[in-house]
Amino acid sequence: MPTPPTAGSAPRAPRPSRRSVLAAMAAAVPAAGLPVLSGRASAAPAAGALPGGGDLGPNVLVFDPATPNIQGTLDEIFKRQESAQFGEGRFALLFKPGTYCGLNAQIGFYTSIAGLGLSPGDTTFHGDVTVDAGWFNGNATQNFWRSAENLTLHPVNGTNRWAVAQAAPFRRMHIKGGLNLAPDGYGWASGGYIADSRIDGSVARYSQQQWYTRDSSVGGWNNAVWNMVFSGVEGAPAQSFPDPPYTTLDTTPVSREKPFLYLDGADYKVFLPEKRTNARGTTWGSGTPRGESLPLGQFYVAKPGVDAATLNAALSQGLNLLLTPGIYHLDRPVEVRRPNTVVLGLGYPTLVPDNGATAMKVADVDGVRLAGFLIDAGPVNSATLLEVGPEGASADHAANPTTVQDVFIRIGGAGPGKATTSMVINSNHTLIDHTWVWRADHGDGVGWETNRADYGVRVNGDDVLATGLFVEHFNKYDVEWRGERGRTVFFQNEKAYDAPNQAAIQNGDIKGYAAYKIADGVTAHEGWGLGSYCYYNVDPTIRQDHGFQAPAKPGVKLHHLLVVSLGGKGQYEHVINSIGAPTSGTSTVPSTVVSYP
């Protein structure tokens, strides 16, 4: 039976944010005494081998409808995590199938809430799963690193509030009512992601600046600010960019939903949804979702404190990895070499390479699934933090691609960190489905050279698709795309706020590095709903030539582009290459290009 966590040290108050000119308002330890979750391992391991299955550790809480004082436990965890933006607490809140009444699960930093059914309707709340921004004076632009999955909600007042920013996925949710994406008081909010969900009522965006919704169903969508993108969404508004700024694709070219833990009777399993092409609507609306299940006994259940050598030994044995909540320090890369390996995190487990290593490397093999964890750069510069495929990878993975889902990367903020290139995608056909790659603009260890990180995401593989690509604040290119036939559906970016002067970002004869650069030699590429913002608050006189840079080739096509100067702190001269009107003044009005060329 879950019991409240014991009192720990108070969380650190965050430093004032510079995330937006409109948002310039002014560490918990792991819990002890919480119950463990046991799963049935398949068979006893051979002598000297690592076991599969087992308990999920103290920071995974499992509830059933008979659990006493569920609300008290939820409130205590939220109290610890509400403002612990760079704290060490990590929690997964899992609810067995059944009906729960009168709950309001407020979700703070590094907290995941999920149902344990095979479909969202198996676990029903007559209540709410709430994210608000009281901790930050009604400003939701820093509500990062939290999630809700696989639940049906009957909101108490008819509308559930989910006021989040980046790295806060909302997956496999059924809301029998409306969904409000703004904080109480309609304060600022910046970014978000919905997938495989059904909202019976309307989604009210209010102050949300940008949002991406994929393969879902909505009863309606009310208004927009800068960039609202939909693919495969039943009930989505008609395409109308830039006024209102709706980008709507009837289907998603390729998608495969995130793996998830569920209960099959008394046994814990991980469900692996199948790949879909030209997808539209949820995977579960017509009955049992399609895919396959793996028993927990086929996973090495990792706990904080385990080293990279042990993780690699488990992978070499043929086990998958289930990373339980906590922080994992690595002295070498985690090496994923076997096809169809699953690396799944619960409650935002965080990988930290301490000595300049790459945190994780994936071989050029079929069907690897990476999902639900955070990589934090260490104090010694890493050449890369995540590599999918080695340099020169060339295999065809069209039938069974690797997926990178809810995998977030951070450089600085929680402390000093450096990385030359954060995420490198070398394998062909990789699906990047919701990532936030962030060079920190606030917190500890932050400064133009202190958390130096030149490149955010570099794509060398061919036929790579990104759905929900958030990349921010890198010293040079945020995204650099070198592979052929790449596609991006929704891109959100802010250029580095802290550039000291014009010379610091000069790129040859170009003023500033593009947020999204397609390499000169690329002949085919397509993107929809792409936005870049600047807020050069250290030197507001900085000029950025453009947000996007692309070769003039018939096969390179970009749709619905915008750039925004936040309050006039720096300006863009153009949107893409030398096309598009400059931003000007302090009005924070986007400059747009409907199509390129």
Catalytic machinery residues = 494
CA neighbor of 350 nearest in space, from 385, 390, 320: 385
Distances, alpha carbon 285 to alpha carbons 173, 216, 291, in Å: 11, 10, 14
Six-digit token string for 468: 């929900």
* The residue type at 320: N
Structure tokens at 47: 């002598």
What number of other Cβ atoms are within 10 A of residue 590's Cβ?
A: 21
Cα(260)–Cα(369) distance, integer angstroms: 11
Residue 122: what residue type?
Answer: D
Structure tokens at 256: 């495969």
Distance (Å, whole) CA 538 – CA 231: 37
Strand segments, DSSP code E, in 553-590 are 555-565, 571-572
> What CA–CA distance (Å, rounded) separates 515 from 548?
6
User: Which of 553, 558, 555 lies closest to 576 in space, CA to CA?
Assistant: 558
With residue 402 as reference, give the H or E element that holds it: none
Give me the amino acid identity at 557. K
What is the per-residue DSSP string for 106-153?
A: E--TTEEEEE-SSSGGGEEEEEEEEB--GGGTT--TT--SEEEES-EE
CA dist 256 and 273 (Å) reads 6
